[in-house]
Amino acid sequence: MNEETTHKTKTVAETLAQALYDNNVTHIYGVPGGGSSLLLIEAAAQLGIKFVLTRTETGAMIMASATAELTGSVGVALTTKGPGVASAANGSACALLDRTPVILITDGFTEQQSDFITHQFIDQKALLAPVTKGHSRLEENQVMSEISRLIDLAMSPPCGPVHIELTGATAKKEVLELQTQKTLDERALNADNLNDFAKANELINNASRPVIVIGLEARSVENAEKTRELVDNTDCPVLTTYKAKGVISDHHPQYAGIFTGGIAESACISKADLIIMIGVDPVEFVLQKWRYQIPIIDISVVEYPVHYVKPDVGLYGPINNNISALLNGISVLSSDWKLPDIKALRHDMHYALQCHAEEGIGAQDVVEVALESAMSRHTLNQEKKLPLITVDAGAHMFSVMAFWPCNQPFDVLISNGLATMAYALPAAIAAAINETDRTVVAFTGDGGLLMCLGELSTAVEQDIPIVVIVFNDQSLSLIDIKQQASGLPSRGMRWETPNFSQVMEGLGGKSYQVSNIQQYRQALDEALEIGSPVLIDVLFNPEGYGQQLKALRG
């Protein structure tokens, strides 16, 4: 165990910065105010932690969330008090429901100030309480212990954000605390393991057509490795949730498609007699009742009190350990599944989710042409990795998630638990900052981009290799579809065509506006070579969205 004994006197801001550094934090994102913000930025800078000035507090939280996913450590966001805290609330909800460990550090009011100040004053702890796991003002004597407690809380499953409300007065205080601190890699899970391996092995050995469903908890290096080992010891089909795409490559012969809790995967699961869930968090499912009456083995980090299913066996605790124990009870699991059967299931799902347009560029074209250009560049330049992609909420995400293949965990970043709009661009900025050896492609709808338009300026300022692809159909497409499906007249869901290309140019970035496949392909080929932020404004035809949504969710 690496131990560090602290004797030197530091301020609270310096102590917090040191704790972040010890937990491998390299960037803080945010919109600061005065008070504690400036003190913390400087203390962090002295340790080499860079501050990224974002244009919105929600964008800062999403960048911190994406950073946490990619690094396996905590992400950090910084805001001023009052309106800064209020603006960060949606980003905190995103981190909570997407299970990412984020530390949100906000300025605050001292007790003396709260006695006479009402300007910008709100109960910040109460405001964020529903969307955070914990809170502290770091005003007690054991400051380092309190910081360590909060980091542990953020990193404990299900992971999520914590709130540090730090006043300028507290940030300046000196800390003298003899404390042995644990670094991130020494932290261990202590979750209870409610095992019944004998029953699980019995269910597996008696099953003739099991199906494996993989969820977000399986994405860590250790969990992904063991999950792949289990898959390789079976011959059954494998489905992944959106966030788990890449744990099993989309090119794996046993990969059968995506799992959302909708209708698209029912062709596969309706033929099964056992479901083995690995790392599946119920927050990933769509809002529909569970439709299958077959046994379930739930291998998860924790037992979720609210769930769509009641498993027959629950194996809770470290997933890699539980899979290892499970593998000891089986050798190779043979079943009635054949690889041609799984290939047919995969093909049928892809076919059902097609979204072409008779004229212009269809949603599926936007994805597949981008993939072709990336593959061509990948082959020509002998690059090791295809672009990492980020995906916004909206109807366009169905085509992106269905037709962009992933080979490794975190090849795609998407907000699934909260499914918030305005996610793709901030997430792409954080991804490009942290994944310096690959291009990042952000797929966003026009509505989502309008909500975080200022972050294009952040991307230009950071000068990072991002290609922002905008599905521009002048509407809130997903809600427009639902409105029409309800037999209601189209009302309030559409707007005049924005010219995102002109906006990007005005912010100092490179851009294209395209309306046909030839223009789009040429723009992509150029954009992927530039190495700095580029926006491609795709005027596309949303034809096919309604049918695709029905095929996916029923």
Rounded to whole angstroms, what are the CA distances from 231 to 140, 256, 277, 281?
Answer: 49, 12, 12, 19
Position with higher pLDDT, 474 vs 183: 474
Q: What are the beta bridge partners of residue 53?
A: 30
Share of the chain above pLDDT 90, in %: 75
pLDDT band at 184 (very low <50, low <70, confident <90, very high): very low
Give 100's contacts (C-beta < 8 A, 6+ positions apart): 65, 66, 68, 69, 75, 159, 160, 161
The mean pLDDT of 468-494, rounded to a whole number, is 72
How many other C-beta atoms lie within 10 A of the C-beta of residue 48? Answer: 8
pLDDT tens digit sequence for 437-459: 899 999 999 999 999 999 999 99
What span, in angstroms and rounded, lies between the C-alpha atoms of 117 and 198?
Answer: 63
Tell me which residue of 433, 445, 448, 432 sits closest to 400, measured CA to CA: 445
What span, in angstroms and rounded, lies between the C-alpha atoms of 319 and 193?
Answer: 10
Tokens of 436: 């310096």
pLDDT band at 177 (very low <50, low <70, confident <90, very high): low
**Can you give the pLDDT at residue 287?**
85
Q: Taking the model in full, what pTM does it have?
A: 0.92
Position with higher pLDDT, 463 vs 541: 463
Tokens of 416: 């699934």
pLDDT band at 72 (very low <50, low <70, confident <90, very high): very high
Position with higher pLDDT, 203 vs 5: 203
Tell me which residue of 449, 446, 457 sits closest to 505, measured CA to CA: 457
What span, in angstroms and rounded, lies between the C-alpha atoms of 551 and 554?
Answer: 6
**Can you give the pLDDT at residue 121?**
77
Tokens of 259: 């799992």
DSSP 344-373: HHHHHHHHHT----SSS-BHHHHHHHHHHH
Residue 311 has pLDDT above 50, yes or no: yes
DSSP element (H, E) containing 543: none
Give 62's contacts (C-beta < 8 A, 6+ positions apart): 91, 94, 415, 420, 422, 423, 426, 427, 430
**Can you give the pLDDT at residue 331?**
62
Rounded to whole angstroms, what are the CA distances from 75 to 27, 100, 194, 256, 458?
Answer: 8, 8, 31, 33, 18
Residue 531 has pLDDT above 80, yes or no: yes
The mean pLDDT of 137-142, rounded to a whole number, is 91
Can you give 33-60 as a three-state secondary structure string?
CCCHHHHHHHHHHCCCCEEEECCCHHHH
**Can you give the pLDDT at residue 6?**
45
Query: For residues 398-430, b (16+ Cβ closer than 10 Å) or e, as one string?
Result: bbbbbbbbbeebbbbbbbbbbbbbbbbbbbbbb
Residue 37 has pLDDT above 80, yes or no: yes
How many other C-beta atoms lie within 10 A of the C-beta of residue 71? Answer: 19
Helix (H, G, I), strand (E, B) or coil at 277: strand
DSSP 496-514: ----HHHHHHHTT-EEEEE
Residue 191 has pLDDT above 60, yes or no: no
Of 235-249, 352-366, 516-530, the one with minimum mean pLDDT is: 352-366
What span, in angstroms and rounded, lies between the C-alpha atoms of 240 and 280?
Answer: 9
Count CA atoms closer than 13 A to 336's CA, side-chain side. 9
Residue 381: burial class (beta carbons within 10 Å; 0-12, 13-18, 19+): exposed
Nearest 5°: phi and psi at 41?
A: -60, -45
